[in-house]
Structure formats: C-alpha cells, structure tokens
Amino acid sequence: MQEYAIVATRPGGSDVLERRAISTPRPGAGEVLVRHAAIGLNFLDIYHRSGLYPWAVPADLVPGSEAAGVIEAVGDGVTGLTVGDRVAYTHPLGAYASVRVIAADRLLRLPEGVSAEVAAGVLLKGLTAHYLIHDSYKVAKGDTVLVHAAAGGVGLLLGQWLTAKGVRAIGTAGGPDKAALARAHGYDAVIDYRAADFVAQVADLTGGEGVQAVYDSVGAETWRGSLDCLRPHGSFVNFGQSSGPITGFTFSDLARKSLHATRPTLFHFIADPADLQRRGAALFAALEDGTLRSDVRTRFPLHDAAKAHDALESRATTGTTILIP
C-alpha cells in the first residue's frame, strides 16, 4: 500500500492542499510508528494552512493536530507501549498522513470503550474543553457562562461538561437546527445569533446581571459583545478566531467592569506529559461513564481534505468531523 500525506504547498486557501506519496518512516529512540485509522478536523488546521499561524517550514506543510490509530513499530527506549496498542494523540501538525512517527510521550492509550473514530474527533476538542473549564476560568456549581459556537465540536462538549458540573450554560449558534443540537447537548438556553442580539438575550436570561465567563472561539464578530455580556470581575476566554482575529482590543476595554481576559492555547496545557496523561484520563473517563458523548457527524476521505476545509470554513458542519485515510 502506498503511504501518503496531504501537504499545503504554500500558505493559502484550500486549493493549496495536495496528496503526496511518502515512504514509510522508521521510529527513532523514544518514538513509535502509528498507522492512522482516523484524523480529526479542526479550525486549527485552517489557521495553519492559511498561514494565519506562521510556518516553521518554507513549503509542504502537513496539517493536522489529532489522530488515532494502531502502533506498528516501536523505537529504542520506549516503555509502556507496544506494537498493536490502540493510541491517540494531539500534537501540532503532521497528522494528515496515512502513517507517522511521533514521540511516545505524546500518546494516550485508548480504553476499550473509546473507538479510534471517537478519539480522533474528540481529543483536541475534549482536552481544550477540559482546560477551559478547569483552568482558564475554573467554573463552580451555580455559575452561569456563555459559550459561542455551541453547536461546534468544543461547544457540544462544553455544554455537557458544564451541565454535569451544575453550571448554567447559555450558548449561541447560527440557525434553528444548530440551536436545537446545542440544546440537546446540555445547554439551558441557546441564542440564534442570526435572528437575535445575543447581548440583549443574555441580559434577559440573567436578569441583567450578566455571566461569570464567556468562552469565545469566534473572535472578530463576537468579542465586543462578549465583554458586554460579562458581569463585573467576569472572565473573557478567547480560544479561537473562526470569524477572524480580534483587532482593536485595548486594556481599557476591561476597565469599566474590572474584567479579566485570557487567550489560552491547548498545547501549553499539555506540554508536560504528566499533564497530558492526567487530562486525557479525565476526558476518557467522562466519555466512558456517559458524562460526555461525542458522535462523529461527518466523515471525509483524507484525500478530500480540501473539501472538508471548505465545509468547516463555511460553518456547514456541526459537531465532530473526521478524515479517514
């Protein structure tokens, strides 16, 4: 079987993605060879492909930051993992390939109750959801928070996890179908931002008090409204920019209500292998005990990665989308 990867030949639109034959890599010391069964699709892939996030290579970047599969070879010095183990990972770049070599300490072994497809579609999003509500703004029972893109991959996980913690979750989504999907995943209320002013709706839903935190992955279109939704001393957590980067923000925007703001990135929260294992264990436990469910809603062949990017950028997808080599 000819191994292959999807490469972005240069920064740009989805048309820069092309299939490229590769040779089977060999793991070095501390590494393993993983054959991918499924690869996650995320806005992070688009940020990389487009050049919004600077490239470390001049050309032929391999996007993709999460996948799951089976170990086919183990390098010297690797302990705790063996050929045939089912594993998953989230790691910057390199996942859009049929096989890859990766450091063993970046891998999580999959429990029996978590399939490769679920793991590939949930790991980056699930670990993101974990650090957002446990670290960026640590929620407490009785809090009320706002989540933008509530029908997206991270949004659907946040709705369920927040509800399980006794937090009132208000979401925003585009259109009645997406709003209904979000409500089915734990949200107390979902605002269709195409049909209503979400700032006014949040004020109505909270009796004018506002929310303790806003989790905002939309960016340019929502950030000012997000600040308006916060109560005094509230926290603005911006973890994405699906509508474009935030511009015009100044510290004085926080002053009128003594607000807090943070722009976290997942890989800073899992850089330590011990933190990765701890967060991964919490995510898998939540999936196995039913606290979280993550249904793969859309599948694309890996060679159709450009079509998958177009669907994601146009906000035509909901929930989890994966690529199959």
- For each of the domains in the chain, give its residue range(s) and CATH number, in order of start: 4-124+267-323 (3.90.180.10), 137-263 (3.40.50.720)
Answer whether residue 306 shows pLDDT above 90: yes
Q: Give the confidence band of 76 by pLDDT, cuts at 50, 70, 90.
A: very high
Q: How far apart are CA 159 and CA 130, in angstroms?
A: 12
**Nearest residue to 240 (alpha-carbon basis) of 213, 217, 262:** 217
Average predicted confidence (pLDDT) for the chain: 96
Place of tokens 């990972």: 89
Classify burial at 77, counting beta carbons within 10 Å of its beta carbon; exposed 0-12, middle 13-18, buried 19 or more. exposed
Q: What's the predicted TM-score (pTM) here?
A: 0.92
> Which DSSP string do the residues of 49-64 spell out, in sequence order?
HHTSSPPSSSS-B---
Q: Which of 39, 24, 176 is nearest to 99 (CA)?
A: 24
Give mean pLDDT, residues 140-169.
Answer: 97
- Is the confidence at residue 317, as pLDDT, over 90? no
pLDDT digits (tens, 9 = 90+) for 203-241: 999 999 999 999 999 999 999 999 999 999 999 999 998
- CA distances from residue 212 to 127, 195, 206, 237 in whole angstroms, order as listed: 22, 24, 11, 11
Res 318 pLDDT > 80: no
Bridge partners of residue 190, in order along the sequence? 171
